[in-house]
Structure 1
């Protein structure tokens, strides 16, 4: 690196199709991703508990959503070596921070609808 050159942080533009942040935004705001994040805000849940807490989600869609959110670093996954395996999910620190405004949004919507 030459003198005077600066290291710049990568600039993210979610409106550009090859922006790495765009995939995460898509996962968080997907039909089921947002419900997974909200459901995990109060407690860590096992797969079946999470499925029961989100009415209308299929096992396939829950698995796909969880896989994407784990890959994005928003959700952690713990597998207990039992028969059958017990799998528990929870929010990472990043997932907690990211889901806070979603919870606020849901609160504002339900408050407005209850008027």
Structure 2
């Protein structure tokens, strides 16, 4: 036997949802966008961290072959950062670069 309160709750939820499908779709799109942007921010911060650590690894590399490979990797990393910055600017997330600098204490006085 079904509970009448459960049935009433379902009916109320259905009634409340009628006519709000556009609003719900917009909310879902916004949520998806936010997740996507947050993931890209994490990638951005990781790439920026690599630009700090790769030069250190280059100095400590044991072979010239490793030095060359790290230099190529650093170049690709810098290109990734530029593309991410262009993307963030294109969607209006321009303050991401400042957040990174503040996060790592790179702002010059």
- Taking structure 2 as the reference length, the TM-score comes to 0.39
Q: Which has the higher strand share?
A: 1
Q: Which has the higher helix share?
A: 2
User: Could you say which structure has the larger radius of gyration?
Assistant: 2
